[in-house]
Structure 1
Amino acid sequence: MEQNLTGIIVNTSKNFQNKIITGLISFVEIVKTIETLSDGYQYLRNHKPGMVFMDVTTNAKDCMKIVGLMLKKEPDTMVFLIDDGKDPDIILEGFRTGATDFLIPGFTGADVAACVKNGLKRSSGMVQKAEVFTVFSLKGGLGVTTLAINLADHIYDITKGKILLLDLNLFMGDITSYLDIVPSFTPYDLVGDMDRMDKQLLFSSLFRHDCGFFVLTTPEEINDSDSISGQDIFDMISLLKGYFDYIVVDSPHDFSERTLKLLPCTDRLLVMVQQSIPSAKSVQKVIEFLNEIDFKPDGLNIVLNRHLKKNEFKIVDLERILSGQISFVLENDYPLFIQAANKGATLNSVAKNSRINQQINQMAAGLTGIKPVPEKKWKNLLFKKKNEIK
């Protein structure tokens, strides 16, 4: 990490100040905390700190004016704004003014550190395109949507990066119902605005869930899915990869042109299977097809969902049929998923300490390579063989 980084905190509560200082203690020196906006501007003019942290939740209009003046005077300064995200116009204005990123109240010191490190990467030209995790099954009813939702939630919880949950069930998706949300911006809108889309317009348009991840999903009503082509899907994901750290895709249950255009953008294809011969044979056909189209073998992970220990059809039987290892095993807790869906919530919100929630947490860790904060009560619940994820 870069050395001799300095920052100031302006117009911010003691609680926020402590979290910022604690989170950055190992690589950024907070040289001063300043109460007023005008004093903050004067300090920046005289001392030129590399970073500014400012709370804009109460007087956004005045704060944005000061941010504009600061960046006009010192355009290389990284400005991090604290805002509750309830008014997308504030986020849009902040990015247009030149802010590096936003922190949402409730953030931890680790959140601040991750936000600043991502900002440093972007400013140094070290931006890495998003990794795309596509959850797939050839038939519906295997838990694709519920896994995609909760995986996105846990990846955000672990990484604190920019995470997008993308619903490509364009005819009629389920994410809006499962999360009880009504986004005004859909994949149809994104495709229509592709030519003029930039960071400011994108993040001011996307729905952001209270848990922290962004959502791009279809309306609840039936849509004309044929209006979006396979090439539109490829172009859309190529665009989105430049703005996010991870994208979790709730994919359609077919190998249509749109799905085939999704596959080249996919880093990990998570294929769902259950403990039955019909399900295993369906996944066998998927694997055979993927081999025919030369899908990268190290990008395929089989996910056994709703696992029952007493089922006579064992994991070894599945692996024999599929000629390969099961990468992830998730136990059967269908009632808990329904409970969460009925509340429009994620598992992490309603049953944080449940076994199934911890298994998805470890799944997110395995995919991202980032170790989650350990839970004393739950360890090694997920991996059949630890660290064998290719």
Structure 2
Amino acid sequence: MKIAVVSRSEKHLLEIARLLRERSPGDEVNLVSGSLERFSSSAGTAMPDLLLLDQPQGSELSRLEGLGAAHPRMTTMVLSTLHTVEFMVDAMRAGVREVLPAPVGPDTLYPAVVRVREKLSAHEHANGKVLAFVSCKGGSGATFLATNIAYALATECGQRVALIDLNLQFGDASLFLADQKPLATLSDVALQMHRMDASLLASSMMPVTATFSVLAAPDDPVHAVDVKPDHIDTLLNLARRHYDFVVLDVGRSLDPVGVRALDLADTIYPVLQTTLPYVRDGKRLLEVFRSLGYPPAKVQVIVNRHEKKAQIKLEDLEKACATPVWRQVPNHYEAAAASVNQGIPVLKLSPKSPIAKSLMALARGIAGDAAPAPAGWLARLLKKPAKEAPPAAAQPVAQPALQAVPAIKQPAFEEKQAWMQKS
């Protein structure tokens, strides 16, 4: 937990720091000698989980109210010798969680810090899900599925979605979604991990829609070394708290960064095709997952470019890999190739194609109860098309825009009308 202590008294500052570090040496404790204004100017956007303000003076309670409104996740406590009803009411209005006696001792400080920790833990457990897509062999289509399923979760299921490209050396997930260069990449974020918060994460991502953004892989393979396994812990814990789904394109190399991401994922989706090289590499990868101790329910196999008349049947693949196939995505090369070449999600470019319908159903299966029920054809007809989010600036993470379901085009309506007349 990140804790900041603000006090005009050097003696109080050092004593509070000693108590906090004795309670939990792993907590990050920052000391600010002086006023709350000095803390505000030095902290910037990297706010702590807990702010301890010793003996507030003047308008500092009013300033606390502004800080709390700008950073709702931060908990504020005040240490004071004053405990009048008027002061307590002012502190409550300022958003102060607790007022502790000053000078504070371990008997009152420790339980208060524990209560904050429990509050943070409860908030963290109400997290979004992390979905990791892994290629069993190069060219399996894991990036295509990851990007398009993430897009479907956002646009069709009404979820807040972040896609993080963890293919550190040759990742190109952003090109599958938009024809623009990301302003920042994962390596840029890694260098700023010490000040990472929701605002910095949002500003580093490339917006695709109002509720879907992408954190691109490093644009230079040399910068892949900037990303460490510990960075993945911080990044995913933060993203979980602000998105309903965090989709990872892990790539194929099982390096320490990739394995850490797979460890933290709720579900892993190995992607393969029904040809012998893919089946062989898929079997090897699944054996690695078993050796890492992943439970069978965590690993859900997806067969991409599935052909019903393929020489290797799904039953053969399941027997060879000793695992069931969770879903299969049909082969429709024309729609997939056009989507990749134009940098437009297939659900937007060719919504009636078999592959788009399959991905839409797959996304709804992932979202489960969170996905809204599909609207009837008349309801969709009467709705206006949703406006795309402007690509120029990142959208606020905590305020997703509600998107209307796109209206049915005229040919689809004519087909429906003809069917009704025949009936």
TM-score when normalising by structure 2: 0.57
Deviation, structure 1 residue 188: 1.1
1:134 counterpart residue number: 132
Cα distance in structure 1, aligned partners of 2:296 and 2:287: 11
Deviation, structure 1 residue 153: 0.4
Contact 1:177 1:220 in 2 (8 A): no
Cα distance in structure 2, aligned partners of 1:357 and 1:372: 18
1:128 maps to amino acid: A
Contact 1:270 1:300 in 2 (8 A): yes
Cα distance in structure 1, aligned partners of 2:319 and 2:347: 34
Change (3 A) 1:348 1:373: farther
Contact 2:193 2:231 in 1 (8 A): no
Change (3 A) 1:172 1:273: closer
Pairs aligned (count): 265
* 1:272 alignment partner, SS class: strand
1:374 counterpart residue number: 374
Q: Extract unaligned runs of 5+ from structure 1.
A: 1-70, 79-121, 378-390
1:325 counterpart residue number: 324
Change (3 A) 1:132 1:126: closer
1:237 counterpart residue number: 236
Map 1:179-198; keep pairs closer than 5 Å: 179=177, 180-198=179-197
Residues 320-363 of structure 1: CA deviation (Å, up to 9, x unaligned): 11222110010011221110122211011111121111111111
Map 1:274-353; keep pairs closer than 5 Å: 274-353=273-352
Contact 1:165 1:216 in 2 (8 A): yes
Contact 1:176 1:220 in 2 (8 A): no
1:48 counterpart residue number: none
Cα distance in structure 1, aligned partners of 2:236 and 2:124: 20
* 1:311 alignment partner, SS class: coil
Cα distance in structure 1, aligned partners of 2:203 and 2:254: 33
Cα distance in structure 1, aligned partners of 2:357 and 2:151: 12
Deviation, structure 1 residue 176: 3.0
Q: Extract unaligned runs of 5+ from structure 2.
A: 1-64, 73-119, 378-423
1:47 counterpart residue number: none
Deviation, structure 1 residue 125: 5.3
Provide the identity percentage. Answer: 25
Cα distance in structure 1, aligned partners of 2:170 and 2:127: 28
Change (3 A) 1:75 1:191: closer
1:254 counterpart residue number: 253
Contact 2:185 2:204 in 1 (8 A): no
Map 1:33-52; keep pairs closer than 5 Å: none
Contact 2:197 2:238 in 1 (8 A): no
Structure number, greater radius of gyration: 2
Residues 61-98 of structure 1: CA deviation (Å, up to 9, x unaligned): xxxxxxxxxx97x969x9xxxxxxxxxxxxxxxxxxxx
* 1:169 alignment partner, SS class: coil
Change (3 A) 1:199 1:220: closer
Map 1:1-390; keep pairs closer than 5 Å: 128-179=126-177, 180-210=179-209, 212-370=211-369, 371=371, 373-374=373-374
After TM superposition, which residue ranges in structure 1, 4 or more long, deviate above 3 angstroms? 124-127, 219-223, 370-377
Deviation, structure 1 residue 266: 0.6
Residues 265-301 of structure 1: CA deviation (Å, up to 9, x unaligned): 1111000111112211211111111111101221100
* 1:284 alignment partner, SS class: helix
